[in-house]
Chain A
Amino acid sequence: MASIDLHHICKVEGHGSLHVEINGSKLTRCELKVVEGARFFEGLVKGKRYDDIQEITSRICGICSCAHTVSCLQAIENAMGIKVSEQTRRLRELLSIAERIRSHATHLYFLSLPDYLGFESALAMAGKYKKEVLTALHLMKLGNNMVQLIGGKEMHPFTSVVGGFTHVPDKKTVDYLRKELKKALPEAIATAMLFMKLKPPGFVTDMDFISLNPEKEAPLISGEIITLSGLKIKPADYTNYIDEEVMPYSIGKFSKLKGKTFCAGAIARVNNNYKNLSKKAKKIFEQAKLKLPLTNPFYNNFCQAVELVHWIEQGHALLNYHFKFEGLPMITARTGRGVSAVEAPRGILFHDYTINDKGFVEKCNIITPTAQNLRAIEANVKQLVEQMLGKKKSKEQIILETEKLIRAYDPCFSCSAHFLKVSWKRK
């Protein structure tokens, strides 16, 4: 029996491993193991006051700290019946856009692109692909600057609190950010064109795609939950549809949607909400001559690049606003349950809190996009390995393509509890 053991899947967030066993030319076992320690955030916030929670849960991830902040605050506001202003919503959208720009740019150029260009790392390709690396650095910095100027610091933003914002950007800051976003648009377009040219391996999957579905916009921080198969539910009802399962070999839980494997993230958002992309983003997508829905998860990277174009344009438009400090509402504690679903860079992020009449958290449930994607990744890996075994590919080729597939999902194992080693056994 032969086996593949990827003991540390690199260029992904957090730590995980993959164990594959092969008997002759047949795959007999494939286990995706999240090997990080459980982090107990849901337990940590129990007994804490409603206005302390965001500071704690944003620490689940440095990369997605804005998504955790916004989802947490919205869920608590829903639980306590607090309505926020249009300005607050706009600023939270801008925080989310900024985070998406930096996350997508970093993942695309530094973790994913070296695979396609045949380099071991971004550093190895920097000499030959100077322009691309500098583009990546500029986009990353733009995202970081936006989060800092709107959220107070680059990671774990603190200006957004329950009910509103403690600080809003002044005109000079707004003008600066608009100028920078305008400058970055050609870079985002170049990124999308670059990823359009990369040819992912032929691979078709059978799974559902989940995303938010705001009425008129592309998915970001609100909307109902929809799937490609036609499901449409309110975020608060997610527990009736998404089942989390503990696997004996993984710290991270695996999810199913009404018993079916599903996928969240940029590819799901494009599949489900293509019509709401900006004209420029759509024009680029059309040039790729791809047929929707996309069922090859390798195209998640191209979708991320298309999203870069969309969100840079959208960020520029949202900043066309006169922000002024509105004060913060008087909050009276009340019992309630609140759920929020936002689109983090890697897919839907659920925060769900039950608050008691003193304003303290009694129950918390958080489901990250990677936890939703783990089952899909494992199923896709199984299918890809079988496909490559059928084509008599070498162990090295199989490992490389498997890693590329896993990276295409842009998983964040740190958030899911957490990922990557491949273990391979052949009988």
Chain B
Amino acid sequence: MRKILVFGNPYLKEDNLAIKIGKKLNIKGFETIICAKPDDLLSHDLNNSVMLDVAKGINAVTAFDNIDSLEFSVIFSLHDFDLSFFLKLLKETGKLKKARIIGIPKSYDEKSALREVKDIIKEVFQ
């Protein structure tokens, strides 16, 4: 079964929209998993998964397949390992052949986001 890996921080208003939506997604053929941290990526077959996260710099729910288009946080310390770093690292090591990422604008309407995420998963990934 394909997986939808959902990222975010449930306690931060500006970073919890993907988790709210992930909990309401119920798409046949997909298992939804809420990931607490980026290294959860290592537990799943990424080439058969969809990642859902809040994204900056977009105005609508958007699908990406190009990891290089993600803004990369420079790793200054052990505290700086984020999702984009992990994705790039996994791509470089060959563990991730093709990324499927859905970005949701942080202040998007929840109902619209849920509908659009479902549509994108059905249209693009099924």
Contact = CB atoms under 8 A, between A and B. Distances in A.
A388 to B, nearest CB: 25
A173 to B, nearest CB: 16
B94 interface: yes
A127 B88 CA distance: 10
Contact of B78 (A111, A121, A133, A134): A111
Contacts of A121: 74-75
A12 B77 contact: yes
A249 to B, nearest CB: 21
A59 to B, nearest CB: 13
B33 to A, nearest CB: 15
Interface in B77-99: 77-79, 81, 85, 88-89, 92-95
Interface in B29-63: 36-37, 39, 42-43
Contacts of A14: 77
A110 B93 contact: no
A122 B78 contact: no
Interface string A122-161: 1100110010011001101100100000000110000000
A106 B39 CA distance: 12
Nearest to B36: A154
Contact of B93 (A106, A133, A140, A144): A133
Given A123-B89, A126-B93, A11 B76 contact: yes
A63 B80 CA distance: 11
A62 B42 CA distance: 21
A138 B75 contact: no
Nearest to A9: B76
Contacts of B74: 10, 121
Contacts of A123: 72, 75, 85, 88-89, 92
B78 A144 contact: no
Interface centre among B39, B77, B85, B94 (most CB of A within 10 A): B77
A77 interface: no
Contact of A127 (B42, B77, B78, B92): B92
Interface centre among B74, B93, B95 (most CB of A within 10 A): B93
Interface residues of B, number: 20
Contacts of B43: 141
Contacts of A144: 37, 39
A14 B77 CA distance: 7
B39 A126 contact: no
Interface centre among A8, A103, A123, A140 (most CB of B within 10 A): A123
Contacts of A130: 92-94
Contacts of B72: 123
Nearest to A103: B78
A122 B81 CA distance: 11
Interface centre among A62, A103, A133 (most CB of B within 10 A): A133
B91 to A, nearest CB: 8
Contacts of B79: 13, 62-63, 414
Interface string A295-337: 0000000000000000000000000000000000000000000
Given A126-B92, A154-B37, A63 B75 contact: no
B85 A13 contact: no
A268 B58 CA distance: 50
A153 B78 CA distance: 18
A45 to B, nearest CB: 22
A107 interface: yes
B94 to A, nearest CB: 6
A416 to B, nearest CB: 13
A103 B85 CA distance: 18
B76 A8 contact: yes
Contacts of A141: 39, 42-43
B45 to A, nearest CB: 15
Contacts of B77: 10-14, 111, 414
A284 B88 CA distance: 33
B111 to A, nearest CB: 31
Nearest to B43: A141
A143 B85 CA distance: 19
Nearest to B90: A137
A126 B89 contact: yes
A140 B78 CA distance: 11
Nearest to A126: B92
Interface in A190-204: none
B39 to A, nearest CB: 5
Contacts of A10: 74, 76-77
Given A126-B92, A133-B93, A154-B36, A63 B78 contact: yes
9 contacts: A106-B78, A110-B78, A111-B77, A122-B75, A126-B92, A127-B92, A127-B93, A134-B93, A137-B89
Interface of A: 8, 10-14, 62-63, 103, 106-107, 110-111, 121-123, 126-127, 130, 133-134, 137-138, 140-141, 144, 153-154, 414
Given A13-B79, A62-B78, A63-B78, 5 more contacts: A63-B79, A110-B81, A127-B92, A127-B93, A414-B77
What 4 A-B pairs are tightest by C-beta distance, nearest first?
Answer: A126-B92, A130-B93, A13-B77, A10-B76
